[in-house]
Every structure is written in structure tokens, then in C-alpha cells.
Amino acid sequence: MKILTPSQLHKADQYTIEHQKISSWELMERASLAAVEKIKAILKAPKPVTVLAGSGNNGGDGLAIAFHLDQLGYEVEVLVLKYTTEYSKDCKINFDRLQAKTEIKVEEFTEDSNIESLNFKPVIIDAVFGIGLNRALPEFVEKVIKKANHAQALRIAIDVPSGLFLSKLTPPQSIVFEADYTLTFQCPKLNFFLPDYGNALGKIQVIDIGLDKSFINKLDSDFEFVNKKYIDGFYKVRHRFSHKGDYGHLLVAGGQYGIMGSVSLTAKAALKSGVGKVTVLSPQCGVEILQHSVPEAMVIPSDDIEQVSPKHLNFKPSNICIGMGLGQSKLAVKSLTYFIRLSKQPILIDADGLNILSKNKNLFEDLPDQSILTPHQGELKRLIGEWGDQYDKLDKMKKFSRQYNIILVSKDAYTFTVYDDQVYINSTGNSGLATAGSGDALAGIISSFLCQNYSPLESSILGVYIHGKAADFYTTSNSELSLTASDVINCLGKTL
């Protein structure tokens, strides 16, 4: 699903209005009815609702939602935060309809109103500002939003939480409506996935309001939101008449004394994701551990007791996954260099391997094209350097990918996969993945798909999606707090 800018969405609105021969009010009505269906599903049964509406088009959405909820029997009150002297045309139509056809209590608030007297119903729907906001909220609006954020209520934002900028970064310390749910129209927006105010979004649900698909398909976007529909576009079904040789042979190289769990998790995750065979190159101290913990994997001892060392292989692996638990000693540097130069196919590098790369940039010259790097945020900073803000970070990741022709999988609350100028934002996963070994499992999943003849980019996108989906499956019956990397691996069979 493309992620579009506010300007592109406005153009899509206008094109749809012209080519579907509808009015802007009819498009607003369509969006509002779709939002009401989502609200009904969230609430499950009618509950008293306060609608916070602005005096622009987002406010028009809110007033239409209030009308339709009232028609369905919900107890609704409307607080209009009138930050302009006049209502927008469509907002005024919906305001007048409320007055004429319902008994909803509608109060208009301005900068002269007594904010302290405000009380809210158990559900607050925010429709004050939308995608066009690019300036600080009026002071009285800030006060109302702040009060709503402290209310004991379920909070639902329509299209975008009020106070959040979309055409530029939201200034630090800004007041933003803190939603439990954000019901956004047509597509998610880039700033939803940036850490500065990402926690204000709650659960994001995308509402298709019927904007012209042919027009949207022609729009250029550097950002793609990866959902099930996107994955289904390239996911492969296995053939009955096949054998393990059809699904590749992965070499996992890593581990050291006291840190053998890392490669054990990687090997398990790869096997659970469908690779034909896994061989682990391990320090001698880890052989017995691995043969007990991952009996399906073959294990080759290196020449060193406590660390991985370069080793001549008597087979040709489909792909190599290296770095987990490798350490950063001279021997570790020598091992990484050896396997980078050995591989003619894209290689996945994680953990200690990334830290070695950041200190030995000459190794990038030997990396096979479209190799995959999977850094967490600290490792990413060591690779690409400090960034000024989140937009600068995105630019640096794109530049880094272009410079070395590699794929960056930037692990975060929303994992970004970057190749060239394109960024793929993952839709799955939860905070439970912030746990030791989670990245080791991800490395194994991506490497497994790489061995199964997915392209390096497809392997990265699919691996991140499945990794997050397994975590989400676990939390359908368990808490996010209890999630471990082993739980993710154990849930792979239920999510692939």
C-alpha cells in the first residue's frame, strides 16, 4: 500500500470528485460512514460519545460521524473548537444538518470559552485538525486536547490525531491528541511511523474511502506500507513434488563461549521458516550445545575453542548468515572478512558483524550486491553516522543503500527496509519484540527465505513481516511482556 503525502491525497480527492462525478460533501459523507462502521466494531455496543470537531473539513468529518452515530442510537455530544471565524463549506452543511435533524447538544468553543468546565463522555472522537495542519495549535485548542488526553476515556482520532504534522516533522513538546485508535483515510501517513510522536497513534486502522485507484497507482511514492495484501503479491506456495535441495542450504556462522544461544536461535528460526538445510559453523565449545538445541542442523567446529575461525567448507552454501555472537576480536574480523570474500551470493550480516563493518569500511567493497544488513538503532548509527532528525535519518539510510548497493533492515517499533530510494514500512509486530534474541531470530527467518529463491529485497520484506506476525499471534493469548525469541520461533508454523 502506497504511503502518500498530504498534497498527493488532496489531488486524489479532487480527481475522484471530478471523475466519479460526486461533490466534496458526498466524498466526506462516504468517509464518515466508513469511519462509523469502524467505530461500531471498536465499541461493540453503543456508548456515550463526545465528538471534538474543528471548523474545517476534518471537523466536517466529525460532525457527519456524530450525525450517523446519533441515527444509530448512540448518546452523542459535540464540542466544536471554532478556530476560524467561518466554517468550511462542507463542515457548515454538516453543522446545519445536526441542528436541523437531531437533538444533539452542540457547543461552540473559542479562545474566550471556559475550558475548565469541560467534561467528556467515555468515548472521545477527535476530528479537530486533519492532514493539512502545519502550524502550532491555537492555545485554546491545545488546552482542550490536553484535557481530553487526561480524561478517563477511549480516544479515537479521525484520519490523524490533532496536533500531528504530516508535511513536516511535528515540533518537540507539541500537544498531540493521544489516540487509542487512529482511523485514517485511504492510506497510512509517513509520520505515523516515526518515533517522535508514534505513541500518539494507538492502533492504526486504514479506511478505504474509494479514492480513484487508477490515479493513485500512477502517483510516485518512496514509501510502501507492507500489509498482507502486499505480501500475498509475491508469496510462494510450495510444490508437493519437491525435496530439501529445492529450498537451499544456509550456513550460519557465529557464536562464542557463553553466547551460543544467538546462533541456536538463528538456526532454529531458519529451519522453522522452510529452508532445506542448515549448517552452523561454531567454535568448538558450542558444538555439543548446538547438537542438543538444534538437532536438525549440522554443525562444523572451527579450529578455535572459543571463537569462530575461518574454515574451508566441503560444500557450497546457498547463502551465508553471519555475525550473531561473533564478537569483535581480531579473529572475528578475520572470519567475517573470509566469508564476505568467499560468498558470491548476497550475504546477511547481523549483530557483531555490523559493528566490525562499521570499523572496517573497506569490507563494503567486497560485499556481494544486495547483501542484507539488519541493524538495531545503535548499530545503524555506527554504520551511517549521527542523524539530525528522522527525515535526515531516512535520507542517510537511502544514501547508504545506494552507495554500497545493499539492503538495510532498520529494526525499530516499525521496521524499515531500505533499498536504493525505496522504503518499506512493516505493519506487523509489537513491543514484545524488544527482547534479547529477537534480532537473531529475524536474521534466520530472512536468510531462510533468501535460500528459498526469494530475491534479497523480497526476503527482507517477507522476513520482517512474518517475524512480526508471529509475535502478534503469540500475543493473541499471551502478554507482550512475556514474549521471548523462542516464542516467536515456536509461532512461525502458525503464521507462515
Query: What are the φ/ψ torsions at residue 185 (nearest 5 degrees)?
Result: -85, 130
53 assigned ligand-binding residue:
no
Which residues are CB-contacts of 330 (< 8 A; sequence separation ≥ 6)? none
202 assigned ligand-binding residue:
no
Cβ-based neighbour number of residue 277 at 10 Å = 20
* Alpha-carbon distances, residue 115 vs 72, 120, 128, 344 (angstroms): 29, 12, 16, 67
61 assigned ligand-binding residue:
yes
CA dihedral 213, 218, 221, 222 (to 10 degrees): 120
Long-range contacts from 380-384, C-beta under 8 angstroms, 24+ separation: 380/408, 380/410, 382/354, 382/355, 382/358, 383/354, 383/357, 383/358
146 assigned ligand-binding residue:
no
59 assigned ligand-binding residue:
yes
382 assigned ligand-binding residue:
no
Residue type, position 177, single letter:
F
Cβ-based neighbour number of residue 242 at 10 Å = 10
Rounded Cα distance, 464 and 348, in Å: 13
| Crossing angle of the two packed helices 352-359 and 377-384, in degrees rounded to 10 | 20
131 assigned ligand-binding residue:
yes
376 assigned ligand-binding residue:
yes
181 assigned ligand-binding residue:
no
Rounded Cα distance, 383 and 390, in Å: 16
Asked whether 308 and 256 are in contact (CB, 8 A), the reply is yes
Alpha-carbon torsion 384, 388, 393, 398, what sign? negative
Asked whether 230 and 1 are in contact (CB, 8 A), the reply is yes
Q: What does 109-160 look like in DSSP terms, one character per residue?
A: E-TTS-GGG----SEEEEES--TT--SPPPHHHHHHHHHHHHSSSEEEEESS
180 assigned ligand-binding residue:
no
31 assigned ligand-binding residue:
no
412 assigned ligand-binding residue:
yes
57 assigned ligand-binding residue:
yes
Rounded Cα distance, 144 and 155, in Å: 13
Asked whether 352 and 331 are in contact (CB, 8 A), the reply is no
73 assigned ligand-binding residue:
no
Residue type, position 318, single letter:
S
Sheet holding 154-158, edge to edge: 105-109, 76-81, 49-53, 123-127, 154-158, 181-185, 203-207
415 assigned ligand-binding residue:
yes
366 assigned ligand-binding residue:
no
Asked whether 61 and 35 are in contact (CB, 8 A), the reply is yes
Cβ-based neighbour number of residue 227 at 10 Å = 16
133 assigned ligand-binding residue:
yes
Rounded Cα distance, 17 and 386, in Å: 44
Residues annotated within the binding site are 57-61, 126, 130-136, 159, 162, 325, 376, 411-415, 439-440
Binding-site residue positions for (6S)-NADPHX: 57-61, 130-136, 159, 325, 376, 440
Q: Annotated binding residues for AMP, as ranges?
A: 411-415, 439
Q: Which residues are annotated as a binding site for K(+)?
A: 58, 126, 162
